[in-house]
Amino acid sequence: MLTENLAHLAPVVLPGLRRQGVAVANAEIVRRQIRRAVRELGAPAAALVEADVLLPAFGVGERVKVYWAQDDYAGGAELLGLDPVRVQVAEVKVAARADVVIAASPVVHAKLAALGANPLLIPYGCDPEAFASVDSAPLPTDVDLPAPVVGLIGHINERVDVSLLEAVADAGLSLLLVGPIDPAFEPERMRVLLGRPNVVSVGRKPAEALPSYLRIIDVGLVPYADTPFNRGSFPLKTLEYLAAGRAVVSTDLPATRWLDSPLIVSATTPRDFAAGVAEQARTDRTDPLVAARRAFAESHSWDRRARDFAAAIQVRRRDPVARADRLDPPTRLDPPNRTDPPDRTDSSGRSDPPAPSDSHDGSVFTSGGDREALQ
């Protein structure tokens, strides 16, 4: 047990995790280990939330089956060395078995709706408290760039459009890269980019070190390439930069359009991207502007997303014959009103905790799914 009401299970499976044939055996192995964990916890499985279409663990005695579609899995299959057709077929089967289908991005929502899954849209959120102390964090000792500094925090690989980074560097802006760089990603262009005097890469950093780097960053970048997988994603970076009070410039992703905020600048070409970054870098980071960014991020906190998620499960539990098409979606395709206030806070600055639910009489298991965080 990690806490009084949170346990972590790391199933032991066969090598070749998701290979055809092996995946079927591994799915059953995972189910058996979850069943054993349920018995040891001494509570029924109220729900099982599945996020891995190739290793579905449904069938452990759960009352509610939830399929959590975190990305456009078929769109990104080739990035993982998987067959897109196999992934698509598997996703259709998992969605058909689920009582509730939850999509994490507008594109995935539309795709599942076209398949007749009647999904709910509950996008990713952020943890505002993790970025609340950015402006008082110690300054990093391995960066010596003149202000203003624009930065990209995260993995640098084929998801990134290197031409956008080149355009930013060409504009003479100080560019800071924080995160591992895939050596197979545009090796020659990255070598030239990293050789520029106004570009610094500090490599992978632990999560606890990120506030120090965010302190010196004025503009956070989301320079994703226009690919099916990226169009189906919901980048955590966008909200996390805002939670740190920083400006954001992103490529024109469907998720960014769904957020529908003037606090996020979108661009489609390298020239426009660099121009947007330069303009944001020149904009003073005033207290009201920082507060507005943080309030917007707070309105998309993980606490709020968790309440929506729990509500979807509770509706299904209260009506055992309900299907997804009869559920009242807790989060709709329309973006939230940009003037909505954030959750109330107490004198400590902490947000109200999630509303209590009646899920104490059972366990909720989440199976599978890897997430890209800001770090």
Residue 362 has pLDDT above 60, yes or no: no
pTM score: 0.83
What pLDDT, in 10s, does the model give residues 296-315? 999 999 999 999 999 999 87
Decide yes or no: CATH 3.20.20.70 for domain 128-298: no
Position 11 scores a pLDDT of 92
Position 314 scores a pLDDT of 87
Q: Which residue has the higher pLDDT, 144 or 371?
A: 144
Average pLDDT over residues 172-198: 98
Angle between helix 187-194 and helix 162-170 axes, rounded to 10 deg = 20
Helix boundaries (H) for 74-209: 84-97, 106-114, 162-170, 187-194
Tokens of 130: 């993790």
Name the band, by pLDDT with cuts 50, 70 and 90, for residue 367. low
Domain ranges of the chain: 22-125+301-333+361-367, 128-298
Long-range (24+ apart) CB contacts under 8 A made by 78-87 are: 79/158, 79/159, 79/229, 82/18, 82/54, 86/20, 86/54, 87/53, 87/54
- DSSP assignment, residue 60? S
What pLDDT, in 10s, does the model give residues 39-50? 999 888 889 999
